[in-house]
Amino acid sequence: MDKIISFGEALVDMLSTRINNQHSDGPEAFIKFPGGAPANVAAAVGKLGGRSYFAGKVGKDMFGDFMRESLQDANVNTDYLLSTSEANTALAFVSLDHTGERSFEFYRNPSADLFFQTAEFKSDWFSEPGIFHFCSNTLTHETIETTTNEGIDKAKKAGFMISFDINLRLNLWPNNRDPLEPIWQCIKKSDIIKLSAEELDFFCSNHDENDIINKMLFTGVSLIIITDGGEKLRFYTQNRQGEISPPKVTMVDSTAAGDAFIGGLLFSLAKLNISSAGIFETLKIPELIEETLRFACRCGAHAVTKKGAFTSLPTHSDLII
């Protein structure tokens, strides 16, 4: 099985015990959970039994120690997880409404994940085939954008498949910085793009949806996946498109749904040992891509039935019907 390197932020989700901002008898409390989209994906792959590595940086603090231990407990190799005294580990305070949908308040400017340097990507990380996964939260500032692109370029040169979950969090972007330009630059380097229906709307603005999808495919992207909560998932390749209906479940917490989905997808592709050059041919097999996406949907559906991020991610035994 190919290795999967997830790069980006590892942060602590402080999940509110108060639902829908309703007051209870006591003060509002927050429970810490390991989180951060790329870290969630790494944990999702690890819990499924994949060769999962997480690359990023945490602070030399209690939260950084908590993240390292949590990743290791999820069967993630943390050799690529660095520590720094320059900043603390990022925190995200998460509140849920009555349907399980979340809102975030980030404590990140600056935080340790933004201090990962280009020179800290080591060549031997990419000495064998694999998948390199990242999100747009490491494009929010110029320095970490440069670092992210260095990681992508090293991985791509080594023949890695590149996976990009847009995972747009506009409240992390400085007011004077347009997310679209750096995101489009990374789309051009990617083999797999995952975005939500809301994120696609953001991309479209005054443009037709099909024009945006075709523009992504024209850059060389092999697979585009558009998720829409519990509604049908849409996918597009260079030669076909289709829809997949996710399992119907009762949602408790949507925090890790997309990350569980991506983890399941990348785990399935890693088992096939597909390089960047081989994914285009592989996606010509309708049964294979649909089976892979259905498995990923089952992973995402399982995650929404439980609170937290790592704690909601499925193992293989959780998915046995």
Does 222 score more than 90 pLDDT?
yes
CA nearest 310: which of 39, 80, 96? 39
CA nearest 107: which of 6, 29, 7, 12? 12
pLDDT tens digits for range 15-69: 877 655 555 556 778 889 999 999 999 999 999 999 999 999 999 999 999 999 9
Cα–Cα dist 64/35, whole Å = 11
Q: pLDDT at position 98, please?
A: 61
Does 250 score more than 80 pLDDT?
yes
Q: pLDDT at position 105, please?
A: 81
Record: fold of 3-9+36-88+114-319: UDP-N-acetylmuramoyl-L-alanine:D-glutamate ligase (3.40.1190)
Cα–Cα dist 152/162, whole Å = 7
- Mean pLDDT for 137-153 is 97
> Which has the higher per-residue pLDDT, 206 or 1?
1
pLDDT tens digits for range 113-131: 999 999 999 999 999 989 9
Q: Please, are residues 32 and 12 in contact by the beta-carbon 8 Å criterion?
A: yes
- pTM summary value: 0.93
Q: pLDDT at position 253, please?
A: 79
pLDDT classification of 295: cutoffs 50, 70, 90? very high
- Mean pLDDT for 277-295 is 82
- Mean pLDDT for 127-150 is 96
Who's near 29: CB < 8 A, 6+ residues apart? 16, 17, 18
Q: pLDDT at position 280, please?
A: 67
Percent of the chain with pLDDT strictly greater than 70: 93
Percent of the chain with pLDDT strictly greater than 90: 72
